């Protein structure tokens, strides 16, 4: 009986998760949630704010707690040239501010925010300016990985830059994808810095493992490949089992903890972030900011549907129906 209750609950959570990922891509839901009172307040739990000053303040506070930062200006799937140019402009300002304020931070960006869906020449123009400024300031730029429709294109584009001599760049590999071991093998051989995560998009079983246990087992396998041969890998996860597996394997093969880092998202498992930093591990927090917080927030909800109750609570609290919550 207990087993069937657990199965029913797991099924419901899976349906909720898929629904949230669907909503993250739905424009009507986006308009509705962005206008909902309280939604912004909720977003602040996972997003540093809407302005560059908000991002700087969050980064400074994290640096003071002994954590490095990677800053992400929110935006993706941009199909309008002005918007893509504006995103590149924002990254230029961001890099300049990180340098001026002497923060321990780099940047993460999505190629679709810079014009990948418009045309590659245009992407070159936008990204080229950002990468030049980063390079002049000895700053690393991470290309986030989006859905599997972009994996090959993103890696091909990355390799075009790499083979053209760019070295201040790195990619993200997702352990839910069946192809990832092959990708890591090649990236390791070339000395590319990889961030390893589980993956946050809705993918068909033909390309991604549908079962969490397989995604986790693959994460551990890929993490070991990165610890064996990778160049300064970043292990992006809040999963204590994954973190333990990385720590144990690193110590087994005597890999120095200063040659890799853990990465976590702003506002997620802050207790664990502090614990790892206090234990002497390198920890980088991914700090998103900007007005386009909706799809990012929905993906965080999908990862942990319990977060949904925070948002419902925050929305109701600022609405005419707040009496429903009592005092």
Least distance from ligand FDA to the Cβ atom of residue 196, Å: 9
Triad 143, 191, 70: Cα angle to 5°: 35
Q: What tokens does 114 get?
A: 């810079």
154 in contact with ligand FDA (CB under 6 A) = no
Query: Is 256 part of the annotated catalytic residue set?
Result: no
> How far apart, in whole angstroms, are the C-alpha atoms of residue 19 and residue 38?
21
Integer angstrom CA distances of residue 96 from 52, 67, 93, 288: 11, 20, 5, 17
For residues 267 and 254, what is the distance between their CA atoms, to the nearest angstrom? 31
User: Which residue among 59, 194, 265, 315 contacts ligand FDA (CB under 6 A)?
Assistant: 265
- Residue pointed to by tokens 């890929």: 222
Range 100-119, binding ligand FDA (CB under 6 A): none
43 in Cβ contact with 274 (< 8 Å): no
45 binds ligand FDA (CB under 6 A): no
Least distance CB 49 / ligand FDA (angstroms): 18
Are the beta carbons of 150 and 111 closer than 8 angstroms? yes
∠ CA(141), CA(250), CA(222), 5° rounding? 60
The gap between the terminal CA atoms of the chain, to the nearest Å, is 38
Binding to ligand FDA by residue 201, rule CB under 6 A? yes
Per-residue binder mask for ligand FDA (CB under 6 A), 167-196, x = binder: -----x-x----------------------
CB of 275: closest distance to ligand FDA in angstroms? Answer: 13
Residue 300 binds ligand FDA (CB under 6 A)? yes
264 binds ligand FDA (CB under 6 A): yes
239 binds ligand FDA (CB under 6 A): yes
* CA angle, 232 then 235 then 237, to 5°: 165
Is 81 or 179 the residue whose CB approaches ligand FDA more closely? 179
- Of 281 and 286, nearer to ligand FDA (C-beta) is 286
Least Å distance, CB 136 to ligand FDA, is: 25
- Segment interacting with ligand FDA (CB under 6 A) among 8-16, 53-61, 120-128, 302-310: 302-310
The active-site residue out of 144, 216, 282, 299 is 144
**Residue of 142, 195, 282, 300 marked active site:** 195
Contacts with 206 (C-beta within 8 Å, 6 or more apart), sequence order: none
CA 67, 96, 233: angle at the middle one, nearest 5? 40
**From CA 52, how far away is CA 270, in angstroms rounded?**
22
Residue 286 sits in the site that holds ligand FDA (CB under 6 A): yes
Active site residues: 144, 195
Residues that bind ligand FDA (CB under 6 A): 144-145, 172, 174, 197-201, 236-239, 263-265, 268-269, 286, 300, 303-304, 307
């Amino acid at each position: 009986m207990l087993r069937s209750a657990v199965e029913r609950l797991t099924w419901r959570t899976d349906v909720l998760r898929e629904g949230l990922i669907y909503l993250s891509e739905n424009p009507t839901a986006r308009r509705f949630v962005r206008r909902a009172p309280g939604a912004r307040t909720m977003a602040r739990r996972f997003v540093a704010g809407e302005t560059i000053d908000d991002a700087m303040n969050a980064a400074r506070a994290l640096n003071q707690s002994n954590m490095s930062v990677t800053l992400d200006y929110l935006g993706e799937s941009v199909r309008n040239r002005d918007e893509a140019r504006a995103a590149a402009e924002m990254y230029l300002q961001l890099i300049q501010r990180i340098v001026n304020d002497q923060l321990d931070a780099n940047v993460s960006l999505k190629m679709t925010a810079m014009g990948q869906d418009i045309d590659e020449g245009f992407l070159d123009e936008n990204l080229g300016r950002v990468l030049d400024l980063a390079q002049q300031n000895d700053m690393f730029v991470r290309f986030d990985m989006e859905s599997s429709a972009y994996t090959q294109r993103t890696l091909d584009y990355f390799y075009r830059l790499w083979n053209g001599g760019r070295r201040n760049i790195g990619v993200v590999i997702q352990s839910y994808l069946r192809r990832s071991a092959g990708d890591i093998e090649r990236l390791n051989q070339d000395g590319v810095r990889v961030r390893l995560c589980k993956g946050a998009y809705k993918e068909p079983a033909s390309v991604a493992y549908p079962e969490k246990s397989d995604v986790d087992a693959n994460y551990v396998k890929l993490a070991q490949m990165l610890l064996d041969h990778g160049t300064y890998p970043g292990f992006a996860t809040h999963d204590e089992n994954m973190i333990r597996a990385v720590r144990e394997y690193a110590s087994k093969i005597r890999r120095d903890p200063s040659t890799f880092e853990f990465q976590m998202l702003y506002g997620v498992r802050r207790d664990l972030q502090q614990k790892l930093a206090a234990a002497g591990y390198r920890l980088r927090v991914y700090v998103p900011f900007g007005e386009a917080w909706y799809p990012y927030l929905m993906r965080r909800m999908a990862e942990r549907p319990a977060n949904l109750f925070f948002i419902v609570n925050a929305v109701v609290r600022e609405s005419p129906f707040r009496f429903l919550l009592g005092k």
